[in-house]
Chains A and B, each alone.
Chain A
């Protein structure tokens, strides 16, 4: 059971480039989330999804886009990367609104130079 898998683990982008962070889970969870973690700050929610075809903005969505074509996959797209998007990105999932533990991927460390 792989849980939540994120790729890549590390990436360096130049300002203005685009990329997609991949996230897949094999637990048949309906709920999936993208967070970013900055030094000294708590995790901030970027986007979330409550099921295939349904996504919505979190606390810090600007500069990002998501899609959810299947239950398993929830990619995060960065368009026109900016230095402010340098961060560690985590994908997470759970199976219920309020009663289950969150499962996290191992993270993607992104630097925009």
Chain B
């Protein structure tokens, strides 16, 4: 059974700092991995999706990497802003209709 872990559960950084969020998974046989952002009281918004054949994806100040062999993914946020404050979740698609296993998230606070 796929298990997805995100450490730390919470992170606080000053504005402008570059930061890395971590995601680890136990089964390397995956189709893709997604990083989501969740704001309080809101749904999840997909930020980046990395296919199993890819090593990284970039969108603006966000860069996600994937290392299947080690069961790890990182989300790099450059020049963090207070508006980046949210909970970030990773989700691993292991195939099949039961498909996606979610981590419990990292709650990020960017302090002005």
* Interface SS, B side: strand
- A40 near B104 (CB under 8 angstroms)? yes
B17-54 near A? 1/0 per residue, CB < 8 Å:
00000000000000110101000011111100101000
Q: Please provide the chain A residues from 1 to 20 with a CB less than 8 Å away from any CB of chain B in the complex.
A: 4, 6
Which of the residues B42, B91, B93, B102 comes within 8 Å of A98, measured between beta carbons? B93
Determine the chain A residues whose CB is within 8 A of the CB of B99 once the complex forms: 97-98
Which of the residues B41, B51, B102 comes within 8 Å of A42, measured between beta carbons? B102
- A102 near B43 (CB under 8 angstroms)? no
- B32 near A99 (CB under 8 angstroms)? yes
**Which residue on chain A has the smallest CB distance to residue B100?**
A102
CA distance A56 to B96 in the complex (A): 12
State whether the Cβ of A74 lies closer than 8 Å to any Cβ in chain B.
Answer: no
State whether the Cβ of A104 lies closer than 8 Å to any Cβ in chain B.
Answer: yes
CA distance A103 to B100 in the complex (A): 13
CA distance A105 to B31 in the complex (A): 23
CA distance A6 to B95 in the complex (A): 26
Given that A40-B104, A45-B100 are contacting pairs, would A103 and B32 also be in contact in the complex, using a CB cutoff of 8 Å? Answer: no
B55-71 near A? 1/0 per residue, CB < 8 Å:
00000000000000000
Q: How large is the interface on B (under 10, 10 to 19, 20 to 34, 35 or more residues)?
A: 20 to 34
B83-112 near A? 1/0 per residue, CB < 8 Å:
000000101010101111111110000000
State whether the Cβ of B4 lies closer than 8 Å to any Cβ in chain A.
Answer: yes
Determine the chain A residues whose CB is within 8 A of the CB of B103 once the complex forms: 42
- B91 near A102 (CB under 8 angstroms)? yes
Determine the chain B residues whose CB is within 8 A of the CB of A101 once the complex forms: 34, 46, 49
- A59 near B98 (CB under 8 angstroms)? yes
Query: Which residues of A are at the interface with B, using a C-beta cutoff of 8 A?
Result: 4, 6, 31, 40-43, 45, 48, 50, 56, 58-59, 90, 92, 97-107, 109
Query: Which residues of B are at the interface with A, using a C-beta cutoff of 8 A?
Result: 4, 31-32, 34, 36, 41-46, 49, 51, 89, 91, 93, 95, 97-105
